[in-house]
Amino acid sequence: MKKIIVPVDFSEHSEYALHVAAKLAKKYNAEILVLHMLEMSDIMLSASDGLQYEKAAYFFKLSEQKFETFLEKDYLKGVKVTPIIKHFKVFSEVNDVAQKNDADLIVMGSHGSSGVKEFFVGSNTERVVRNADIPVLVVKNRLEDINFETVVFACDFSEESIKPYINAIKMFNKMNSKVYMVYVNLPNERFKTSAEIEKSVVNFFAKADRNLDRMSEVHYVSDYTVEAGIINFASKVGADIIAIPTHGKKGLAHFLEGSIGEDVANHAEFPVITFKI
């Protein structure tokens, strides 16, 4: 892990993300790219060229001053930090910055369940997740420990989940994490027998790992919703983080259709990291 992007709006939750990024940066000797999206109003965009330039310059300067204050943190000492300001609030630009700088991870703060509509559902974080090609770590609180020793990876064991699984395992192996894989069985048309689930799991590992060594790490749980099953299982095993695959711009993974992924991120007290399918 060499470069970490932290999109900020100078809020308390942005600082939570920055604090986590700083801990990761120190652990892996990485650089932090702190990104602020400078949103221009419709009035400014419709103003004359001269006036528009003056206003843009003013807000750009204001953001620079905010950056200077925001980055005066003791926990950033010894960490290489590069501030970046973008003129327009286009969330695909976060991924563009990530690609341009060959970043490994995006870390974002969120309000969680205290602001369900504000966060994730149609929000900045959700938009970044949908556009990001690299993992996005979402945090809702200040985390003192970022060892992520116990991980719950939610999976439907479809072939399209192989890529995010491989990327997740690669990351968590470097952290020496214990990874629990969980499949949530529902009491509706998606219900599967144990034999059906195991057949999917065997096929999954045969293609992903070319062995069945991780079969013992797979857990089948039954619940009324996928998000409840994931969160309840994570609580049971004392997870430090929940990992979920995403389809990016197309939405969340097949078994996380609708608002399930959003619900997990909103209602879980755990950090959530997404991996692109």
When the pLDDT of each residue in the chain is averaged and rounded to a whole number, the result is 83
Predicted pLDDT of residue 251? 44
Judge whether residue 78 has pLDDT over 60.
yes
**Which has the minimum average pLDDT: 63-67, 85-89, 174-178?**
85-89
Domains of the chain in start order, with CATH, are 3-139 (3.40.50.620), 150-276 (3.40.50.620)
What is the tens place of the pLDDT at every residue in 171-220? Answer: 999 999 999 999 999 998 779 999 999 999 999 999 999 999 999 999 99
In the structure, what pLDDT confidence band is assigned to residue 122 with cuts at 50, 70 and 90? very low
Predicted pLDDT of residue 110? 81
Predicted pLDDT of residue 116? 38
What is the tens place of the pLDDT at every residue in 141-167? Answer: 888 888 899 999 999 999 999 999 999
Three-state secondary structure along the chain? Answer: CCEEEEECCCCHHHHHHHHHHHHHHHHHCCEEEEEEECCCCHHHHHCCHHHHHHHHHHHHHHHHHHHHHHCCCHHHCCCCEEEEEECCCCCHHHHHHHHHCCCCEEEEECCHHHHCCCCCCCCHHHHHHHHCCCCEEEECCCCCCCCCCEEEEECCCCHHHHHHHHHHHHHHHHCCCEEEEEEEECCCCCCCCHHHHHHHHHHHHHHHCCCCHHHHHEEEEECCCHHHHHHHHHHHHCCCEEEEEECHHHCECHHHCCCHHHHHHHHCCCCEEEEEC
User: Looking at per-residue confidence, does 256 or 231 come out higher?
Assistant: 231
Predicted pLDDT of residue 67? 83
